[in-house]
Amino acid sequence: MTIQTGLDYLRSRGSIVDCDTMDEEVAEVLGPFQDCTSNQAIAYNELRKSKHAELLMSALTKAHSLISEYPDLTVIELAIEIAMVALSLRMVPHITGRIHIQTNPYYSYSTGKTIANAIRLVKLASILCPSHPQSRISIKIPSTWEGLMACQYLEKAGIRTLATTLFTLPQAMLAAEVGCTYVAPYVNQLRVHFEEDFKDPSPALPLVPLIQEYYTRESIKTQVLPASLTSTEEIFFLAGAHHITIPPKLLDELSKPLEDGFSAASLFKSPGFDDFAGTRKPTSFVNDESGYRLAVARDAKGKSEEKLAQAVNIFCDMQDKLVSLFQQSK
């Protein structure tokens, strides 16, 4: 293929380019892409745009008509899910693959609630767009023990899952064991996107090729989809990852013509990488909850578990903002 832009370059290295947005105008202008990822923060920043006032009201109306089926939910909680599904479905004309919709972060430590939430999101998609096949929906679930147990149930039920907020190899190992279709290693702590002066002191770039090499060596089909990226430099380092999901600002930068003589290093070709990955022996966590929790707690001397808790907290904060947004629209 002719390589003219950064997006061309990524694709030439075998990476599938996904968009990390719910703004259909971005996908229409810069796409098509394969998959479309989203979360509560992306949903909030999109739904608060004045152009979506009608969508907010229609979601509330639909929620009122369906709430009797979900007595454990409030009307607003259901309306938020309806709006997130509706926004994702609007991206479908501009992608060739799946929409990824994230479960309520308040359920991150409840397997049962996460399962019910995932099934509900799939059902809502079928109500809003009966022609959209379930096979083109993936449910994003935080990579807690409880979340990954929910993924195991859902994958067996035929619902595709993505294990998100993933910061450690043990999380990736368990995600593969339970059959997740995708994992999303977070390169940067989530707070980099919410605190203007904060820069992650140690971006987890090497984790991405480490997981992918482990999956390749063990013949695991789970796809690696790095997320939480802050620069095109980080993205070029990850050229060769199965998927890369990219936010609008960086998509725009990558869509521009490359400079003459462009070259980029990739961590997938780092000297000695294969030897390092080869020292990792398969470990089973699926029947060892305490072992899994200890492995995550011990990773990076506790910093990885702290990043996971931080991400869950931030997404809960964004869920709260969505609730406030809908309350103001009533």
- Does a structural domain hold residue 281? yes
pLDDT tens readout for residues 243-274: 999 999 999 999 999 998 899 999 986 544 44
CATH assignment of the domain containing 73:
3.20.20.70
Number of structural domains in the chain: 1
What pLDDT score does 269 carry? 65
> pLDDT at position 325, please?
98
Mean pLDDT in residue range 68-94: 97
Q: In the predicted model, is pLDDT for residue 22 greater than 70?
A: yes
Whole-number pLDDT of residue 281: 66
- Tell me the catalytic residues: 140
Residue 172 has pLDDT above 70, yes or no: yes
Domain limits at 312? 6-329
165 located within any domain? yes
- Whole-number average pLDDT of the chain: 95
Helix (H), strand (E), coil (C) string for the chain? CCCCEHHHHHHHCCCEEEEECCCHHHHHHHCCECCEECCHHHHHHHHCCHHHHHHHHHHHHHHHHHHHHCCCCCHHHHHHHHHHHHHHHHHHHHECCCEEEECCHHHCCCHHHHHHHHHHHHHHHHHHCCCCCHHHEEEEEECCHHHHHHHHHHHHCCCEEEEEEECCHHHHHHHHHCCCCEEEEECCCHHHHCCCCCCCCCCCCCHHHHHHHHHHHCCCCCEECCECCCCHHHHHHCCCCCEEEECHHHHHHHCCECCCCCCCCCHHHCCCHHHHHHCCCCCCCCCCHHHHHHHHHHHHHHHHHHHHHHHHHHHHHHHHHHHHHHHHHC
Answer yes or no: is 13 within a domain: yes
Confidence (pLDDT) at 261: 87
Model's pTM, two decimal places? Answer: 0.95
Query: pLDDT (tens digit, 9 = 90+) per residue, 286-322?
Result: 999 999 999 999 999 999 999 999 999 999 999 999 9
Per cent of the chain over pLDDT 70 is: 96
pLDDT tens figures, 304-313: 999 999 999 9
* Range of lowest pLDDT (1-5, 109-113, 115-119, 151-155): 1-5
pLDDT in tens, 207-248: 999 999 999 999 999 999 999 999 999 999 999 999 999 999
Report pLDDT digits (tens) over 27-54: 999 999 999 999 999 999 999 999 999 9
199 vs 270: which has the higher pLDDT: 199
> What is the pLDDT at residue 280?
57
Residue 1 lies in a domain: no
